[in-house]
Structure 1
Amino acid sequence: MKILHTSDWHIGRTLNEKSLLEDQEALLTQLLTWLDRERPDILLVAGDIYDRSVPSREALGLVDTVLSEIILRLGIPVLLIGGNHDGRERLAMNGGILEKQGLHIAGNYLPGQEPVTLSDDWGEVCFWSVPFIKPVEYRSLMKLEKPMGYDEMYREITAEITGRMDTSKRNVLVSHGLILGNMADIQTIDDSVRPIEIGGIEYACAEIFEAFDYVALGHLHRPQKVLWDKVRYSGSLLKYSFSEWNQKKSVTLVELGEKGALSLEPVSFKPLRDLRVIHGRLEELTALEAYEAEGREDYLKVILEDQERLVNPMDKLRRVYPNVLEMAYEKREKTEAQKSSRRIKERIQDPLKLFEDFYAFVNGEAMQADEQAVITELLETTMEEER
């Protein structure tokens, strides 16, 4: 069975107030051409099809056109789940409209939800959906009183699914969230991705997915495996931040043979405009030969190496490069990079651990279990209010 795994389309995205809708439409046109030629058995969109919970009319129109082409003209089923950027309630409301035609939408997580099932020569493949959900939402849904972190929530959700699934069949999980193999994977998070928790980085461990034959993830924008080849982020369709400038974007073609047989292949498309970072002195970057340089229309961040004070450098740059979106000086950029590194380290700090350390310092003894539970509850409430 051929599966095209995509995620994080972020239709309607802007970058420094520049609409990327034209770029998204150009890339989705290439995607439609590829789908028409290769005819996969299903297209997966693992969350964040939109960039905002209330998309613009233009963003809605583009998604409607593309999905209609895929399911009605090409006859390829689509499984789409809600991400943290999506209006999940809005997605869920549209879930049943075109289901008979092959558009399967899981906007919100629902315990006990049946999988989408397809068949090939090797039998059935079951596609299970876990849209984005926060622990506080899960606790409310399940009427739980105990405090719960992200990893514990995911363990309960996957246990509920694996308790119902037939492991003799091939099982695919489609989910949107932060899944890591270990803390070193924190470095894969760039500034275009909203943190799932505020104060500390909440994540689930990939080991909980061992029972599945493939796990199609969304949320992180760099294509990457997590722990095993079978647990994978497809990454975003386009570069959506200058922190992603050196990433090679792709979607993932997954081929499932008989039980246990898996092959993966990246599929890349050419963006209408690349997103790049260039360095140099203003005089060099705006010299006559620069007008003939390839990629002048790309979205650019320019880092100037000039030491002296410059007059209207952005205006001069835009005469040559019309889509310069950011400009910085090299010295300042290094300082900002150091600050960013410190911010990442601070985010990694567990806020509960910080409370425990402070409590021990003030009281000269460790915090008790019931006190930890109270602090955890307060932290969750505070984080939710800050959102």
Structure 2
Amino acid sequence: MRKRLPTGRAIHPRGKAMKLLHTSDWHLGRTTGRESRASDHDAVLAEIVDAARELRPDVICNSGDLFDRSRPGTDDLERAIDVLSELAAIAPTVVVCGNHDKAALFRVFNKLSRVHGLHFIADPTTEPEAVIELPVAAGGTVRVGAVCYQHPHHLVDGRGNPDTWGSEYSAAVRGLDSTVAAAIQAGLNPQTDFAVFAAHAYVGGAGWSGTERRGRHDDIFATDPTGIPGVAYAAYGHIHRPQPLPGAAGTYGHYAGSPLQLDFGEAGQAKSMVYVEAAPGRPPRIETIPLHRGRQLRCFRGTLDDLAATADTFGTDLCQIVVDSDTHIPHVADRVQEILPDAHLVEVANNAADRRAQIVIADPSKGGQDREPSIGEMFATYLATAGSTKAPAASVLDVFHQLADPAVVDEPMPFPQEQYLPEVA
């Protein structure tokens, strides 16, 4: 049963209140294996638009990774603009640049779309209008500021001590966060105005899905959760698993997560967006709105009989299947497709006992007769069976040893022919 959405009525009808809808990490243009996710994106983005029409928020925030690649295809550019335009017709929509996005493209978007209620934030360190003021239907103003994804190469001196890279990065990001937070708070009336902070970053202690781009969000370059600005709501992107922000009490914010299961590390994860209602002087009410549309990802491992027993639960899922068997199963993917006629098979593997590699361990009692052959012995066996070389096999094997033996002990390769080369002054 679909969960009923909260009503669009403010929870504080006698005072000012702000309503915000937070989504993130769409990754338009994504493929899972060779399977395009375009139809899945169309389905779930329509679900997001439907929810926005029902909730009627004052502001909509997408906290980064709008695209999966920095140079998206024309179909995905058109898809992004169409959906964002629909959202902007409901409420002003702010989009933050993520690590998969291209800041230059966002700057072009911003010049074209600002008049239509779309606001793309590419780099708050260079944009004088990084803080955006938007009206609230119940009265007052919401002030949105953002820190886009900050690559460690831009903030850390790679020539310095690696042991301090993490602390340098965290301190630099914290400085940016503080600068933007101060700009949001400047002149803000706590009785009528609301501060919203958006960012695309990995906050230390958050749990990732395992499908995010590694090396950008690991613990070396984690940001300090105590540095999250104290605002009505902090909208974060980058982590695909929906979750509250880690940090001390009084930190109100979430990772909205990706709206689709993007890769098999996210199989089984429930996806959602975040709805926020805030009133001056009170903690915000934060609610996750489940997202159901788009095909699910499914991992399975077992025998063909096990698969057949659960076949009616797969539907049109995108599947990663490992079939266990005693002997190799020819055309195993065809067998699986017969059992799951409607499923989309991204990857099928046969884990056959008779094809598994065996670890060779020498038995001392056999005097080394059962040892693993050396690379030279294996090459000699290959030459004996190949049967088609222009040079005598013994000469080929001799040259092989001349080249391979120095490589093993990391010595210079012997090339006697070099003596015939003329010397260059």
2:204 is aligned, of 133, 155, 180, to 180
Alpha carbons 2:178, 2:229 under 8 Å: kept: no
Residue in 1 that maps onto 2:182? 163
Report the 3-state secondary structure (helix = DSSP H, G, I; strand = E; otherwise coil) of the residue aligned with 1:300: strand
Alpha carbons 1:135, 1:149 under 8 Å: kept: no
Residue in 2 that maps onto 1:126? 143
Alpha carbons 2:332, 2:350 under 8 Å: kept: no
Residue in 2 that maps onto 1:257? 279
Alpha carbons 2:196, 2:235 under 8 Å: kept: yes
1:225-264 correspondence to structure 2 within 5 Å: 225-228=244-247, 230-264=252-286
Structure 1 residue 159: Cα displacement: 2.1
Structure 1 residue 86: Cα displacement: 0.9
Distance 1:114 1:200, change over 3 A: closer
- Does the alignment pair 1:152 with 2:171? yes
AA aligned opposite 2:116: Q
Alpha carbons 1:135, 1:153 under 8 Å: kept: no
Alpha carbons 1:122, 1:257 under 8 Å: kept: no
Once residues 102 and 285 of structure 2 are traced to their aligned partners in structure 1, the CA distance between those partners, rounded to angstroms, is: 33
Once residues 256 and 210 of structure 1 are traced to their aligned partners in structure 2, the CA distance between those partners, rounded to angstroms, is: 16
Once residues 296 and 94 of structure 1 are traced to their aligned partners in structure 2, the CA distance between those partners, rounded to angstroms, is: 39
Alpha carbons 1:180, 1:226 under 8 Å: kept: no
- Does the alignment pair 1:54 with 2:71? yes
Structure 1 residue 119: Cα displacement: 3.4
Once residues 80 and 199 of structure 1 are traced to their aligned partners in structure 2, the CA distance between those partners, rounded to angstroms, is: 24
Residue in 2 that maps onto 1:38? 55
Residue in 2 that maps onto 1:313? 332
- Does the alignment pair 1:280 with 2:297? no
Residue in 1 that maps onto 2:318? 299
- Does the alignment pair 1:108 with 2:123? yes
Residue in 2 that maps onto 1:204? 223
Once residues 217 and 174 of structure 2 are traced to their aligned partners in structure 1, the CA distance between those partners, rounded to angstroms, is: 21
Cα deviations across residues 1-56 of structure 1 (Å, max 9, x unaligned)? 11111100001100101100011001111112222222111111100011111111
Residue in 1 that maps onto 2:210? 191
AA aligned opposite 1:234: A
Residue in 2 that maps onto 1:86? 101
Alpha carbons 1:129, 1:174 under 8 Å: kept: yes
Alpha carbons 1:48, 1:84 under 8 Å: kept: yes
Residue in 2 that maps onto 1:69? 86
Distance 1:241 1:154, change over 3 A: same
Distance 1:137 1:330, change over 3 A: same
Alpha carbons 1:108, 1:131 under 8 Å: kept: yes
The runs of 5 or more residues in structure 2 that have no matched partner are 1-17, 158-163, 354-425
Report the 3-state secondary structure (helix = DSSP H, G, I; strand = E; otherwise coil) of the residue aligned with 1:58: helix
Structure 1 residue 122: Cα displacement: 6.0
Residue in 1 that maps onto 2:344? 323
Distance 1:83 1:276, change over 3 A: same
Report the 3-state secondary structure (helix = DSSP H, G, I; strand = E; otherwise coil) of the residue aligned with 2:115: helix
TM-score when normalising by structure 2? 0.69
Distance 1:328 1:259, change over 3 A: farther
Once residues 155 and 149 of structure 1 are traced to their aligned partners in structure 2, the CA distance between those partners, rounded to angstroms, is: 10
Higher deviation after alignment, 305-314 or 267-276? 305-314
- Does the alignment pair 1:136 with 2:153? yes
1:216 is aligned, of 235, 245, 249, to 235
Report the 3-state secondary structure (helix = DSSP H, G, I; strand = E; otherwise coil) of the residue aligned with 1:98: helix
2:33 is aligned, of 10, 16, 19, to 16
TM-score when normalising by structure 1? 0.75
Higher deviation after alignment, 96-105 or 294-303? 294-303
Larger helix share, 1 or 2: 1
Once residues 199 and 10 of structure 1 are traced to their aligned partners in structure 2, the CA distance between those partners, rounded to angstroms, is: 20
Report the 3-state secondary structure (helix = DSSP H, G, I; strand = E; otherwise coil) of the residue aligned with 1:258: coil
AA aligned opposite 2:235: A
Higher deviation after alignment, 103-112 or 5-14? 103-112
Q: RMSD in angstroms over aligned alpha carbons?
A: 2.7
Distance 1:163 1:221, change over 3 A: same
